[in-house]
Structure 1
Amino acid sequence: MIILGIVLLVLGFLLKISLLSTLGIILLVVGAVLAIAGGIGRAIGPRRHYW
């Protein structure tokens, strides 16, 4: 999810499409929050780790 966010963010900046940039930022933030929560051992849904 983090990689997809980075790709959409870069494509949004290169193609001057603000929607792609916005989606990229949202996916990047959500992916980072899930990765941090999974890294500290917090259960996310039925999974103990998120990757």
Structure 2
Amino acid sequence: MALRVLLIGASGVFGTRIACELAHDPRFSLTLAGEALAALVGFAVETQLETLTS
């Protein structure tokens, strides 16, 4: 069972680095939150994350 993680500030510099580390780790179910929706969508596409909601 994956640990659910809500990453607030994921569109910022530091949040993006954390998201990159957690994105493909099967131990975590990652939810991203941030001010820049375009940056979050770009990250999700780039890392091939499965689900997007706005």
Q: Give the TM-score, by structure 1 length.
A: 0.31
Larger Rg, first or second structure (1 or 2): 1
Structure with higher helix content: 1
Higher relative contact order (CA 8 A, sep 6+): 2
| TM-score normalised to structure 2 length | 0.30
